[in-house]
Amino acid sequence: MNGIHDVGGMDGFGKIVIEENEPLFHEEWERRAFGLLNGALGQGWFNLDEMRHGIERMGPVEYLTSGYYGHWTATLATLLVEKGMVDAEELESRTQAFLVQPDREMPRNENPDLVNHMQMVLKYGASTHREIDVIPKYQIGDRVKTINISPTGHTRLPRYARAKYGVIQAVYGAHVFPDGHAHGKGEGPEYLYSVRIEADELWGSNQSEAVYIDLWESHLEPA
| pLDDT (tens digit per residue) in 158-216 | 999 999 999 999 999 999 999 999 999 999 999 999 999 999 999 887 778 999 999 99
Taking each continuous run of H as one helix and of E as one strand, the counts in the chain are 8, 6
| pTM assigned to the model | 0.91
End-to-end Cα spacing for the chain: 24
Torsions phi, psi for 54 (to 5 deg): -60, -40
- Whether residue 180 contacts residue 186, with contact meaning beta carbons closer than 8 Å, is answered with yes
Structural domains in the chain, CATH included, are 28-124 (1.10.472.20), 129-222 (2.30.30.50)
Cβ 177 vs Cβ 147: under 8 Å: no
Per the DSSP assignment, residues forming a β-bridge with 170 are 194
Mean pLDDT score, 28-43: 92
pLDDT at 124: 86
CA torsion 77-124-181-140 (nearest 10°) is: 140
Report the pLDDT value the prediction gives residue 218, as an integer from 0 to 100.
98
Among 188, 184, 187, 153, which residue's Cα sits nearest to residue 82?
184
Rounded Cα distance, 118 and 14, in Å: 36
CB-based burial label for 191 (10 Å; 0-12, 13-18, 19+)? buried
Residue 98 in this model has a pLDDT that exceeds 80: yes
Cα(1)–Cα(12) distance, integer angstroms: 21
| CB neighbour list of residue 41: distance below 8 Å, 6 or more residues apart | 47, 48, 51
72 φ, ψ (degrees, to nearest 5): -60, -45
Residues sharing a CB contact under 8 Å with residue 45, sequence separation 6 or more, in sequence order: 79, 80, 83, 85
Q: What is the pLDDT of residues 67-92, one digit of tens each?
A: 999 999 999 999 999 999 999 999 99
Which pLDDT band, with edges at 50, 70 and 90, does 14 fall under? Answer: confident
